[in-house]
Amino acid sequence: MRTAAPHVGAGHAPAPTARSSWPVELDRVCVTYPNGTRALRDVSLRVEPGEMVAVVGLSGSGKSTLIRTVNGLVPATSGTVRVGPHQVTALRGRALREVRGHVGMIFQGFNLAERVDVLHNVLVGRFAHTPAWRSLLGRPSAADRELALRALDSVGMLEKVWTRAGSLSGGQKQRVAIARALTQEPGVMLADEPVASLDPPTAHAVMADLRRINAEQGLTVVVNIHLMDLARQYTTRMIGLRAGEVVYDGPAPDATDADFEQIYGRPVQPRDVLGAGA
């Protein structure tokens, strides 16, 4: 295995520890969008607590839909999704928001409020756990504030706490987004193409951050990725999706090029690997 990129700002405080790590279980899940697109076809899988899983596939293969069914951002058309003790597919409204409060998510586009400072972006992670008046006024309790600051420290962004998110670089934004998810004290961490908008060294650093969180806290991590080398290097298990169906499920580090060709449904191309960072 290639040496990993150095952890950016190594030697931080440990991230806030998860209360407990959750399994994720999909049972015969189908998703059909209103426009008729069948994004997931009869997907069943189980992710054990503390696993670090890559979901691999071309764009349009259903990766994003799969990850969004886990926190109910995309409702399953049929089948059941279980996260920890909750059956997500049976929940709505307040109960669904409560579960989402324990499922961290990071995005390809970072999805920060650009004109808001880093601290208040990270405090978004406490919304589901805080009285509405506090979060709407932006007046966190001392405990929430401490959680946010510790999460920022663990990704090396503490000194940027008063900076507007819009003036950060891409890598810094993604680390703030990771801190936002960690502040939720999540049972599962979902990542939807977290490094697709980053340059190679920064991409390696962010993947290393995710792996460190997985290793240090035993937090379940499910990460969507389309690059072969990142999946092999940073994750332990790989689920391959093609046209909404699971076509591969096995250990990630020794997945061969042939396995990837089977998932992609075409020969491997240079753009399927990121290359060495750092």
Partner 1 sequence: MSAATVTSPRVDPPVTRTALPPRPSRLWPTLWALVVGAVVLAAAAGLSITWDELPALPGKVAGYLRLMFADPSWDKLPRALLETWRSISMAWTGAILCVVASLPLGLLAARGVGPAWLRLGLRACFAVLRAVPEVVLALVLLTVTGLTPLTGALALGIAGIGTQARWVYEAVESVQEGASQAVRAAGGTAAHVTRWAIWPAISPTVLSFALYRFEINIRTSAVLGLVGAGGIGSMLSNYTNFRQWDTVGMLLIVVVAATMLMDTVSGAIRRRIMEGARVRDVGRGA
Q: Which residues bind partner 1 (CB under 8 A)?
A: 71, 73, 97-105, 107, 109-116, 120, 124-125, 127-129, 132, 135-136, 164, 166-169, 177, 180-181, 184
Query: Residue 106 or residue 263: which is nearer to partner 1 going by CB?
Result: 106
Query: Residue 19 or residue 28: which is nearer to partner 1 going by CB?
Result: 19
| CA–CA dist 51, 137 (Å, integer) | 37
Cα 248 vs. chain centroid, distance in angstroms? 20
Query: Residue 151 or residue 246: which is nearer to partner 1 going by CB?
Result: 151
| CA–CA dist 37, 74 (Å, integer) | 13
- Residue 269 Cβ vs partner 1, minimum distance, rounded to whole Å: 29
- Residue 97 Cβ vs partner 1, minimum distance, rounded to whole Å: 4
Spell 125-134 as b/e; 16+ CB within 10 A means b: bbbbbbeeee
- Residue 93 Cβ vs partner 1, minimum distance, rounded to whole Å: 9
Based on DSSP, count helices (H) and strands (E) in the chain, helices before strands. 9, 10
Which DSSP letter does residue 94 get? H
- Residue 255 Cβ vs partner 1, minimum distance, rounded to whole Å: 29
In three-state secondary structure terms, 102 is coil
113: alpha, beta or left? (left if phi > 0; alpha if psi -120 to 50): beta
The sheet that has 78-83: what strands, in order across it? 38-47, 24-32, 78-83, 86-87
- Tell me the torsion sign for CA atoms 201, 206, 207, 212: positive
Query: Residue 98 or residue 261: which is nearer to partner 1 going by CB?
Result: 98
Query: Residue 39 or residue 124: which is nearer to partner 1 going by CB?
Result: 124
- Residue 189 Cβ vs partner 1, minimum distance, rounded to whole Å: 11
- Residue 15 Cβ vs partner 1, minimum distance, rounded to whole Å: 16
- On whether the CB atoms of residues 208 and 181 are closer than 8 A, the answer is no
- Residue 249 Cβ vs partner 1, minimum distance, rounded to whole Å: 25
